[in-house]
Chains A and B, each alone.
Chain A
């Protein structure tokens, strides 16, 4: 493989890796925690709502606790239990990449940026020296440095 192709393949791979890192702002554990916190909140909210409906029934209102005007989350948590709702919501969690914590992610983004700068500068030097067409998405700050 020509040197330019090797370089460009490496650049493309790093760009994909960086894009994935930029996209994934929470790692898998943080997603689990966030869902857990949300379900906990729903459970408390749902319990309050059901309690109020029961109280209303006790006070002579229509005995219809399911007539809860709310989001589905608190209702499901109240009816099925927080653990069941959490488990159902997290059934597909394996599909989420394990990811990095915030510090490691920031460090990795810096490392990738430095490596990309280096490779793209090498690429630009090669284009210049050998008269190779530049990529249409070559970074102007590298090409015109």
Chain B
């Protein structure tokens, strides 16, 4: 049995796991940032605020710059969320493989 290869595959799995944790944390931070910006943008967001003109937002006592920033962060977080989901699938495959290899190595 090639022990060095087993260790290398385990290390690769750990790298995927670390990357997954990093991305998941970025998504969590992105969501928190969006929530913070929206809460700071005004007391109550009307439905369809995303499409409202700048002046309408101001007239309702809302902060258009925070809202715009929230939208940008939400889009970036959406991209990260997709990457996280793809990585989660890779991580699950990698975990399944490592478990099979570990079990084989123990036998």
Which A residues are closer than 8 A to B by beta carbons? Answer: 133-138, 140-141, 143-145
Contacts of A136 in B (CB 8 A): 92-94, 96-97, 100
CB-CB under 8 A from B94, the residues of chain A are 133, 136
User: Cβ of A144 and Cβ of B104 under 8 Å apart?
Assistant: yes
Known contacts A141-B104, A144-B104, A144-B105: A134-B97 contact under CB 8 Å: yes
Q: In angstroms, how far is the closest chain B Cβ from the Cβ of A8?
A: 13
Please report whether the interface of chain A is mostly helix, strand, loop or mixed according to DSSP. Answer: loop
Q: Chain A residues near B9: list those with CB within 8 A.
A: 134, 143
- When the two chains form the complex, which single residue of B92, B93, B100 contacts A140, counting CB atoms closer than 8 Å? B100
- Residues of B within 8 A of A (CB-CB), count: 16
Task: Using A143-B9, A144-B2 as known contacts, say yes or no to A133 and B101 having CB atoms under 8 A apart.
Answer: no
Select A143's contact among B92, B93, B96, B101, beta carbons within 8 Å.
Answer: B101
Given A137-B96, A137-B100, A144–B90 Cβ distance below 8 Å?
no
In the complex, chain B residues whose CB is within 8 Å of the CB of A141: 104
- Check if A145 sits within 8 Å of B100, measured CB to CB: no
Q: Could you say which residues of chain B place their CB within 8 Å of the CB of A134? A: 9, 97
Given the interface pairs A133-B90, A140-B104, the reply to whether A145 lies near B2 with Cβ below 8 Å is yes
Cα distance A143–B96 in the bound complex, in angstroms: 14
Known contacts A137-B100, A140-B100, then 15 further A-B pairs from the complex at CB < 8 Å, ordered by chain A residue: A134-B9, A135-B93, A135-B97, A136-B93, A136-B94, A136-B96, A136-B100, A137-B96, A140-B105, A143-B5, A143-B97, A144-B1, A144-B6, A144-B101, A144-B104
Interface residues as binary, B61-93 with A (CB distance below 8 Å gives 1, 0 otherwise): 000000000000000000000000000001011
State the CA gap A46–B96 with chains docked (Å).
Answer: 55
Residues of B within 8 A of A145 (CB): 2
Q: From B6, B92, B97, B105, give the contact of A138 (CB < 8 A).
A: B97
- Interchain nearest-CB distance for A105 vs B (Å): 28
Q: Is the pair B101, A140 in contact by a Cβ cutoff of 8 Å?
A: yes
